[in-house]
């Protein structure tokens, strides 16, 4: 998990995260990462509207935010069009 979080930070991608709070409540967060260590993640949480620190061990799942996934999909389409322009028509 730590290495994946580091990659998201390196590429400045927001993440969608499923998080288990200290009182065992599960929530979905969208976070702009500021720092990542093996113990914690700090970033701007769009759900709470401020900078938060999350314990890495309580992060259940992560993936690029929907906007970043859409950008990635569009970029891949453009790469395919450049590589195979005759198939686009």
- Give tens-digit pLDDT for 46-83: 999 999 999 999 999 999 987 654 455 555 555 555 55
Q: What is the pTM of this model?
A: 0.70
Could you tell me the residue ranges of all domains in the chain?
2-88
What DSSP element (H or E) covers 71?
helix 66-83
Q: What is the CATH number of domain 2-88?
A: 2.30.30.100
For 17-43, b/e burial (b = at least 16 CB within 10 A) is bebeeeeeeeeebbbbbeebeeeebeb
């Amino acid at each position: 998990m730590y290495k994946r979080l580091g990659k998201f930070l390196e590429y400045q991608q927001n993440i969608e995260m499923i998080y288990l709070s200290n009182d065992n409540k599960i929530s979905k967060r969208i976070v702009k990462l500021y720092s990542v260590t093996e113990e914690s993640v700090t970033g701007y949480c769009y759900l709470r509207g401020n900078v938060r620190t999350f314990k890495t061990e309580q992060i259940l799942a992560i993936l690029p935010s929907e906007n970043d996934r859409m950008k990635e999909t569009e970029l891949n389409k453009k790469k395919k069009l450049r590589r195979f322009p005759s198939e686009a028509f």
